[in-house]
Structures are given as structure tokens and as C-alpha cells.
Structure 1
Amino acid sequence: MTLALIAGSGALPHAVAGGLTGQDWTCFHLEGYAPDGITSEPFRVERLGSFIADLKGRGVTEVCFAGAIARPRLDATMIDAATMPLAPRMMQALQAGDDAALRIVLAFFEEAGITILAAQDVAPALLDVPVAGEVGARDAADIDKARAVHAALSDLDIGQGCVVAGGQVLAVETTPGTDWMLASLTAPFARPNGGVLFKSAKRGQDRRVDIATIGPETVTGAARAGLSGIAVVQGSVIVLEPDSVRARLKESGLFLTTIAP
């Protein structure tokens, strides 16, 4: 049984690769999104049909998607014969919301008899959260409000996080991501002190290929934004570089807490 790691940018592919010790695996990446620190072969989206056929020819039975990519542009002049039957659904995916687009792409692999594995299934330790600090009563109230906001936004397929301070919604995560959202809060504006970054998977999200993630830069961004801490739903968020996360929490004085699903 051979596993293919289909990697994007960021620290996640390397973290997943660390959980594949002793397994038969190989790595590929969408052209333009080579992962750091891993030898990987490129492929083009216009040749996705041929790529999947090649995986089957190599004996690949499982794939794991890990890392970030931007939604690719499809050059119709480069679509090969093996990909042509997939083209109508590929165009549909490019115009759909994130979750719907991912489901279409996953279907191509599943229809070829390839099983999709989640990053957290390959490397379960990624879900371990280095809890730190104390959550005050005001923080707990902000967490409750943030969770309600997140639930309301899930059906709109908007993002995996939001920031609430003093009961006020300061920001919601959109396409630019968590780091951008936190950076936007460093600009001066009238707002309550403190606040909480809340992160969780969206309701109905396919966590095999898209799961909320935090890492050291998340802690740094939250501290720069003047927040009091971070709350994540247990089992719904991957933690990258946990030792560095733990160290930055200690340096900044921020809390990191988990709440039940």
C-alpha cells in the first residue's frame, strides 16, 4: 500500500511527513506551491486526470492533502485528453465556495479508487493542544460569543475563526486567513481591551483536506493585536510547532484553551 502526500505551502506538509516514518510514501505538489524541506514532484491542474492515472500506475491507494494553495487558474489550452472529461466539474469547482470546491476535487480521486486520509489521521499528535494560562470570566463570555458567531458564519462558508472582545465582534476570518485578520487589528480604532481569537472547523467541513490550524505566528499575531488569548475546539484544530507555540504563549502571557465539540 503506497500513500501520496499532496503538499502545499506552509509548515503542515513537513509536520505530516514526520508522521509517515516507516511507511511507503511519495510527495507531489501543485506547480507553484512546492513544500519546504520535502522532495516533491510537480503536477498541473490541467493534467489532473493524467496525474491521478499516474498515481494509480504507481500503486498509490491513499492520498493525504496537506498545506495551503491558492485557487489555481485553469488554462483551457493545456487540458490534456485524460483531464477533458473532468473539465466541466473542474470549472464548477473553481466557481464554488471552498468546501464545495474541495468536495469536487476529492470526488475525482475517490472515483479512481483512491482513499483520502486526513493529515490528523496520518499524524494524530497534530491535534494535541498545549493548553496554557488562565481564562477569566470576561474571556469565557467572549469565547461563548465567538462560538455563536462562528456557528452562524459556518453556513456561509466564510472562515474558520473570529475575534471577540468585550462582547463585540472585532473581526471574522475570510479568504486572506488568520494572520491577515489578526494584523488588521493592530491598526488603531476604538475597541474594548483584550479579546479572544476563536478557531474551529466550520460545520459540515470536510476535515480530510481542510482543517483549522494554529502555530507560533498565530500566537505572535494575537499578542500584537492586544488579545488576551486563543480558544480552539478540541479535535478540530491542528497545532503546528507545539514547542514554539508553548514558548510564545509563555513569553506573551496569552492563554490557550480548548472547549468541547
Structure 2
Amino acid sequence: MLALIAGQGALPRAVAEASTERPLICALEPHAPEGLTVDRSFRVERLGGFLHWLRRKGVRRICMCGRVQRPELRLSRLDWRTALMLPAMRRALKRGDDGALRIVISLLEEQGFEIVGAHEAAPSLLPPEGVPTRAQPDEAARAAALLGDRVSAEQGARDFGQACVIRDTELLAREDDATGTDAMIDALTGAEGGVLYKAEKPGQDTRVDLPVIGPRTARGAIRAGLAGIVVSAGGVMVLDRGEVLSLLDEAGLFLWVRERP
């Protein structure tokens, strides 16, 4: 049985609806996922008891998706099962996002669970390689994609965000992990003709925090006057793909699902 630990944003609902099996919906308090009925919520101080409950329900696989704010750990609220995990949990709360996720994955695996990526639970969210829009990338877009590869490698090494905006060979904006891709696009000025580049961080564990774009991303790119969007094949999920393509086609933007060299 699969448990979906759902954070904020549109991704958890999309994964639940596209999943090949009906998942058990769980959420970390005090946040509730959008458009989903939660079967079980839990506090971080009760993580051990929550995992024990999952095992009793027959859950063997866990998918974590959606935005989650780093919780505050209150020692006075720990149950005894969670207290046994306290050293690892403290290390996770002190790390950057990537380091914290690696510790969380290791912690769940030590408890006997298999961690499943959102794209594995709902493979239809990964678009095939190619250009599904009527507009096609030109030479300037190809040059921007190559620079995007280098920026992505740098951002991954520094535990930054997964997206940037490039025009020709000029880097116009970087994603801030605290705000996200859509906020970066909304803040753009003077980016007409630029390209949104988004990819998983090199070396990233793709079972968690795989990048996502959706209709809001497309609308933001259109408002900013961008020429198109480049995403890595197998590394970025597209929510409501039909709506995204319709929006981009109407505005004359391209979507390039590109295999990184």
C-alpha cells in the first residue's frame, strides 16, 4: 500500500489523481493539502507513532510531494518512538534542503519503508522528450539552454533553486528555494524574449522534490514576455499538461522537453 505525505501546492492532488493505486493521504500539521481529503495528519513530534500507524495499516511505500515548511520541533511533545529518532531529526533540521531530505529518506528507510518518487507513483506527469508546442526553440533558445545547464550545476552545488531565466547568454534571474519558480517569474522585469529553464539539480535524489511546472508557470511566462520554457526530460513534471500546452500555443511560446547533455 502507498501513503502520500502531501504538502502544499497543486502537486499532491495531481499525484493522487494520476497514481496507479489509490494512496492513503497524510499531511504534516498544521498544513493541509489543496483539494484532498486527509486520512491522517501528524505532528513532527509524533513521527514515530505515525510511522507505526502506517505499518499497521499495511503501508510499505511512501511518496512525499508538495511544499513543506520546515517544522519547529518541540521536545516536550515527543512520543517515545520519535524520541529514538531525535538525533537524526535534529541533524535534518540543521541542514540545507537537500541534506535534510537525504536524512529524512534514510530515516524512513531505516523504518522499513520504500520511498517512491511522485513521478514513479504517477508516471503520466512526466512529459515525453520533444517540443509539443507549435512554436519551436530557435538558436538563441538553444544557447540559453546550454547556459542553463551550467547555471543548474552551480545552483545544485550550492543547494539553490531549480530554475532560472536566461536571455541569449545573460542570466536574468535565479530561483530562490524560499519563494519558488512562479514567484521568480512574477518578479521579472525587462525579460522579454528570455527563456525559463528548469531542471532537477545534478545529483539530486529524484524521489523527492522533483521540479514541477503547471498552468500558473505558463501564465507567468506569458505575462513576462518570455519566448518559451525549457525543462529537462525525465526531470520535470508538468501538471495539467493539456492546459499548459493550450496556453503556450495561444501565446506563441514553446515548451522544449530536452535531454540534458
TM-score strictly above 0.5:
yes
Determine if contact 1:8/1:33 at 8 Å carries over to the other structure: yes
Residue 165 of structure 1 contacts residue 194 of structure 1 at CA under 8 Å; is this kept in 2? yes
8 Å Cα contact 2:164-2:173 kept in structure 1: yes
Tell me which residue corresponds to 1:209: 208
Q: Given that residues 166 and 192 in structure 1 are in contact (C-alpha distance below 8 angstroms), is that contact kept between their aligned partners in structure 2?
A: no
What's the CA shift string for 1:174-204, capped at 9, x where partnerless?
1210011111113xxxx56411110000011
The answer to whether residue 31 in structure 2 is matched with residue 30 in structure 1 is: no
Structure 1: gaps spanning 5 or more residues: none
- Residue type of the alignment partner of 1:89: A
Distance in 1 (CA, whole Å) between partners of 2:49 and 2:110 is 14
- Give the aligned partner of residue 184 of structure 2: 181
Counterpart amino acid of 1:202? K
Secondary structure of 2:155's counterpart equals: helix
RMSD of equivalent CA atoms: 1.5
Q: Is the counterpart of residue 103 in structure 1 residue 102 in structure 2?
A: yes
Show structure 1 runs of 4+ deviating over 3 A.
Answer: none
SS of 2:207's equivalent in the other structure is: coil
**In structure 2, distance between residues paired with 1:212 and 1:238:** 6
With normalisation by structure 2, the TM-score equals 0.93
Asked if structure 1 preserves the Cα contact closer than 8 Å seen for 2:46 and 2:79, the reply is yes
Residue in structure 2 matched with residue 154 of structure 1 by the alignment: 156
Which of 135, 138, 141 is the matching residue for 2:140?
Answer: 138
Query: Structure 2 CA distance, aligned partners of 1:141 and 1:75?
Result: 49
1:13 maps to what in 2? 12
Distance in 2 of aligned mates of 1:231 and 1:33? 31
How far apart are the structure 2 equivalents of 1:236 and 1:63?
A: 20
Q: 1:39-67, CA deviations, whole angstroms, 9 ceiling, x for partnerless residues?
A: 21210011111111111122111111121
Runs (5+) with no aligned partner, structure 2: none
Pairwise CA distance, 1:232: 0.7
CA 1:227–1:25 in 2, change beyond 3 Å: closer, same or farther? closer
The normalised TM-score by structure 1 is 0.93
